[in-house]
Amino acid sequence: MSWYASDLLTDADLLAYESTLDQAFNVDEWADKRELAMQWVFARLKANGFDPDKFRTRHAPTLVYSYTGSAYTDRTDAATSETTDDLNLATTFATAGTDALYVGSTKPFRGLSWRVLEAVSAVSGSVTVAYWGDGWMTLPLDNQINSGGIPFVKGGSMTWRQPSNWSLRPINSSDPLYWIKVTVSATPTAAKAGQLGCIRRSALCSVAALRTLVLLMREAPTGGDGPWRAKADWYEAQLDVELQVALQNVGGEFDTDDSDQISEDEADQTPEEAGGHGPFKMERA
């Protein structure tokens, strides 16, 4: 299984439906409700013949290049293999601001997962991710690999709202792909990564969002402003429609073979090592 609750649904997705959620409920994240919604969604998948253990949101990138010292180097094998710590981030980003890591995929994606184990950075700084939209355009990030102002201090994911004007282009004479460009403000000394995963938007995103909103509205404070009960009923009605549509389109998001593709190291990985709360395995090579 290669997924994590925030791959499927982010707080930004919820705010796209209800822009005043944080003000109305006086909280700034809804991870618990999102994960409860995941349980509901996966129970419906199983009831309709889908195996939740084979669901995947994280996919191996098509190509990965480092751009260090004005030279491109193919890092695809290091970024997709099961070998730990074989993608050296300190040498990739040796010159902060100009060195970059390019990650390309045949399909657009809404995030990037990083498997970082013990080889972590202790250097304060920031990470910038840009996509190609007839120019490199910076993406606002939900960055879970950052802690205390230190990027790459742990593994996890960085997600963004998938842009509508993302264009295909070649990098270093490659085939045209959807690329992101990762740069840093300070070299992440000692940091190494294993696998990278492109997090794709799932057909289940809207279903999970609507179920989460139903849970939130049902528990809205009775003394608070807002037609919460009416909104809960409306979202629940929409949820039934979206679920039926999603069930017709989600089939391609599941593994189709029965081989043991997950390494022993991956099988032993804890949610904390993955930088998240939910069930999670890194993508197989």
- Whole-prediction pTM: 0.82
Instruction: State yes or no: pLDDT of 140 exceeds 80.
Output: yes
User: Each residue of 106-129: pLDDT tens digit?
Assistant: 999 999 999 999 999 999 999 999
Tell me the mean pLDDT in the region 195-219: 92
Residue ranges of the domains in the chain?
5-57+202-274, 59-199
Q: Among 1.25.10, 3.90.660, 3.40.50, 2.60.120, what is the CATH number of 59-199? A: 2.60.120
| Each residue's pLDDT tens digit, 250-278 | 998 888 654 433 333 433 444 444 444 34
Reduced 3-state DSSP string for the chain: CECCHHHHCCHHHHHHHCCCHHHHHCCCCCHHHHHHHHHHHHHHHHHCCCCHHHEECEECCCEEEEEECCEEEECHHHHHCCCCCCEEHHHHCCCCCCCEEEEEECCCCCEEEECCCCCCCCCCCCEEEEEECCCEEECCCEECCEECCEECCCCEEEECCCCCCCCCECCCCCCCEEEEEEEECCCCCCCEECCEEEECCCCCHHHHHHHHHHHHHHCCCCCCCCCHHHHHHHHHHHHHHHHHHHHHHCHHHECCCCCCCCCHHHHCCCHHHHCCCCCCCCCCC
Mean pLDDT for the chain? 85
Calculate mean pLDDT across residues 212-222.
83
What's the pLDDT band for 171 if we cut at 50, 70, 90?
very high
What is the per-residue pLDDT across 126-139, written as a single tens digit (0 to 9) for each? 999 999 999 999 99
**pLDDT at residue 19, rounded to an integer:** 86
